Amino acid sequence: MSKKRVSVIGAGPAGLKAAATLAANGIQVKLFERSNLTGGHLSQWHTLFPTLEPASDLIQSLQSSLDHPNIELLSLKSIQSMHSINGKWEIISTEGERFESDAVLIATGFKLFEANRKEEYGYGMYPQVVTSADVEAIFNGQQNWPFQAEVTPLRIGLVHCVGSRDAKCGNRYCSKVCCVTAVKQAIGIKKKFPEAQVYCFYMDMRMFGVGYEELYHTAQTKYNIQFIRGRLSEASPSEGSRVQVKAEDTLMGKPIKLILNMLVLMVGMEPSFQLRKQENDFYFEQNSFGDGFMQPLDPWIGSNSYNQSGLFMAGACKGPSSLPEVIQDAKAASMEICNYLNTVL
Amino acid sequence: MSVDFGFYAAPVRSIDLDKPLSSEIELIFEKEPSLHRCISCGQCAAICTAGHFTKMQFYKINLKAHRGESEHVKELAEKCMLCGKCQLVCPRGVNIRHGILLMSELS
């Protein structure tokens, strides 16, 4: 009997974990990745909340499982479309190559909100305005701080919910991980510059995960990071290559102003593509304004299944999620696929 | 001689975070760092007996101190009777009575 075959689209944390789980269950996996690197966004991060462990540890652990005879990694391979014929799935790459399998797992993750769309914050205009992804790159030594390290007083602000919970951006949902990422990065900044004053501008502090609220506690008490309830109205250039920000302190009921050496925009998550069905073919297409994430059969029992036999999904392509959630979801989807292959084939 | 033109320049009411906190306020936070943990949930004020008759709202006083609006902090803190009910209910474990005592000792 020939081995059962599954195509996994996307080699981020979800795709890597699913490929490893499926392979360990005797399934032949083709892992498609459009870039030349595996690990997805995780490969850009520096530390992980809430434990502040280096992200590289998790990437290495996920990548090491790729070294399995049942896994074939096809990097620099973008998928254009796919369809199912007589219970077999055929995937077609943008170069026109065709790959056959018994089931398909979509693990294409998310893309970051493009911060320049929030024009009032001046990303791309003022060098002092950076995104949370830039801060990770700075911590990784791939970018420089946008100020002189010896400058005093050093003031840094972080704005939550950039591109999230914002109908003006077409994204009404919460991106979940930005609050705790802001707390993590604020602590990282205070560790690097103990004299700096760090301010977080938030709408709500959504510290939903295990250990998140405790990290928030630590940020307040040990690092004296100031949390101000109220979103920035705008950032404008100020003297000495700094930016002036304005907000309403909604707890004080008063306007607040402040000149910062660096303003960090906590960018949210957006779907990385839309799956469009035409006749029997599924096409991967660019998003447009207000497009949502992939919808599973239902949010409970069928949360890894698509409304099409043999098509599955896992991870942040379904909506904003933290890394533990993504990894658990990939394992759950793998189990779903095993069950499907055992009953159908 | 002042002439009444029927209008006046309103004082700026915005909070200026560029101004550093006074050293006296900084010292309070140093002596009682749990004050930083307040999240303005308001439970302290909701249970406060003094708050029925005065403007005693601990979370608000603490917030004012954090934002550098400290001119009325001492006066407001002095309304407290130190009964400690607020501290029994505070979900973040702020040492409110110590904070209030330090604030009422401001010059």
Quick check: B29 contacting A, CB < 8 Å?
yes
Indicate yes or no: CB of B18 within 8 angstroms of CB of A259. Answer: yes
Indicate yes or no: CB of A255 within 8 angstroms of CB of B20. Answer: no
ipTM: 0.91
Same fold, A5-109+272-344 and A115-267: yes
B19-42 average pLDDT score: 96
- Chain B residue closest in CA terms to A213: B92
A2-10 average pLDDT score: 94
Residues of A in contact with B15 (CB under 8 A): 249, 252, 254-257
pLDDT of residue B2: 75
Token pair of A148, please? 């002189």
Output the CA torsion A176→A179→A181→A183 (10° steps): -160
Residues of A in contact with B39 (CB under 8 A): 205, 227
Quick check: B6 contacting A, CB < 8 Å?
no
Say yes or no to pLDDT of A1 above 60: no
C-alpha angle A40-A41-A42 in degrees, rounded to nearest 5:
90
- Chain A residue closest in CA terms to B67: A252
Residues of A in contact with B34 (CB under 8 A): 221
Per-residue CA distances from A306 to A5, A299, B97 (Å): 18, 11, 57
| Residue scoring higher pLDDT (B29 or A1) | B29
Please state which architecture CATH assigns to domain A5-109+272-344: 3-Layer(bba) Sandwich (3.50)
Side-chain-side CA neighbours of A78 within 13 Å: the count stands at: 10
User: For residue A2, what pLDDT band results from cuts at 50, 70 and 90?
Assistant: confident
pLDDT of residue B8: 86
Fold of A115-267: FAD/NAD(P)-binding domain (3.50.50)
pLDDT of residue A149: 87
Residues of B in contact with A252 (CB under 8 A): 15, 63-64, 67, 69
**Percent of chain A having pLDDT more than 90?**
96
CA A310/CA A105 separation, integer angstroms:
8
Q: For A195-215, what is each residue's pLDDT tens digit?
A: 999 999 999 999 999 999 999
Token pair of A179, please? 């609050």
**Percent of chain A having pLDDT more than 70?**
99
Indicate yes or no: CB of B17 within 8 angstroms of CB of A217. Answer: no
CA B15/CA B9 separation, integer angstroms:
18
B71-100 average pLDDT score: 97
User: For residue A140, what pLDDT band results from cuts at 50, 70 and 90?
Assistant: very high
Task: Count Cβ neighbours within 10 Å for each residue of A120-137 and write b for 16 or more, e otherwise.
Answer: ebbbeebebbbbbbbbbb
Quick check: B4 contacting A, CB < 8 Å?
no
Say yes or no to pLDDT of A297 above 70: yes
CA A174/CA A113 separation, integer angstroms:
12
- Among the partner residues A224, A252, A256, nearest to B36 by beta-carbon distance: A224
pLDDT of residue A344: 83
Q: For A240-275, what is each residue's pLDDT tens digit?
A: 899 999 999 999 999 999 999 999 999 999 999 999
Say yes or no to pLDDT of B1 above 70: no
| Residue B13 DSSP SS3 | coil
pLDDT of residue A229: 97
Domain ranges of chain B: 23-104
Residues of B in contact with A155 (CB under 8 A): 17-18
pLDDT of residue A48: 98
pLDDT of residue A28: 98
A9-34 average pLDDT score: 98
Quick check: B40 contacting A, CB < 8 Å?
yes
Residues of A in contact with B18 (CB under 8 A): 155, 257-259
Domain ranges of chain A: 5-109+272-344, 115-267
pLDDT of residue A99: 97
Indicate yes or no: CB of B15 within 8 angstroms of CB of A255. Answer: yes
Mean pLDDT over all residues of chain A?
Answer: 96
Preferred mutation among B25, B26, B30, B36 to probe A, highest tally of A CBs within 10 A: B36
Give the number of other Cβ atoms within 10 Å of residue B23's Cβ: 8
CATH of B23-104, one of 1.10.1060.10, 3.40.50.10800, 3.30.70.2860, 1.10.10.10: 1.10.1060.10
CA A172/CA A190 separation, integer angstroms:
32
Say yes or no to pLDDT of B77 above 70: yes
Give the number of other Cβ atoms within 10 Å of residue A344's Cβ: 12
Residues of B in contact with A229 (CB under 8 A): 40
- Among the partner residues B18, B20, B67, nearest to A249 by beta-carbon distance: B67
For tokens 């799935």, name the residue: A89
CA B52 to chain centroid, in Å, comes to 17
Q: For A67-85, what is each residue's pLDDT tens digit?
A: 999 999 999 999 999 999 9
